Copies of this chain bind each other. A is one copy, B any other.
Amino acid sequence: MSTAPEGYDPHAFEPFAVTVDLAVFTVRGGRLHVLLVERGEDPYKGHWALPGGFVLPRESAESAARRELAEETGLTESTVSALHLEQLRTYSDPDRDPRMRVVSVAYAALVPDLPEPRGGGDAAHARWWDAGALGALAFDHDRILADAHDRIGAKLEYTCLATAFCPSEFTLGELQQVYETVWGVELDRPNFRRKVLTTPGFVQAVEGSPRRTGGRGKPAALYRAGAATALHPPLLRPEGRST
């Protein structure tokens, strides 16, 4: 329970530090990308790590995650507040940081394709990486990243989350590519259309029925994210395995 024993002295033992770690995903060029920062000091100096940082004394973990997300991407706080950010799980192995006891609350964030982070300060060492071609990350961040990828893949099945990877107006082909990229499979285009369009509230056509021209084939209709959040029945991935 959240109950301190009587006479408990907060300063009596070596304290826990509480941090947040962010797995920030985007789909870029048909590949899943993750935002990473390069560590400038030991341990793991020169390795890449998930962005994150300390939870401040008067903020919640979620606030800390949004603050860090804004700092690392160079986006404004108001832009960041519209992004999908979801708590993943908490990592608390006593030896996960060799310096001290650090308990970290991990978050997964989904963003549409963004330019390279060009903010000053923290964002200076941040870069997008292809999630399928990563070396070993610092700390237990490989594990966190893998858990985040699994979770996002599973949530695509039964939520309307995929639209969070898309800009405000998108084509069904772009939405399909989100599924294909995160799941690493190819989907049948007509069947995907049918499923998305017959699910009430998943997407809504942009008024005036504009089409995106300039591409290779027939111009595609544009849609916005709909009001629905859940997908009933779910859109199961082929040979579906969850975690």
Contacts and interface: CB of A to CB of B under 8 A. Distances in A.
Chain A: interface secondary structure? loop
A20 to B, nearest CB: 9
A105 B105 CA distance: 9
A130 to B, nearest CB: 20
Interface in A85-140: 87, 89-90, 92-94, 96-97, 99-105, 138-140
Contacts of A61: 90, 92, 103
Nearest to A230: B242
Interface residues of A, number: 59
A88 to B, nearest CB: 9
Interface stretch (A9-17, A182-190, A203-211): A9-17
A52 interface: yes
Given A18-B16, A58-B94, A2 B139 contact: yes
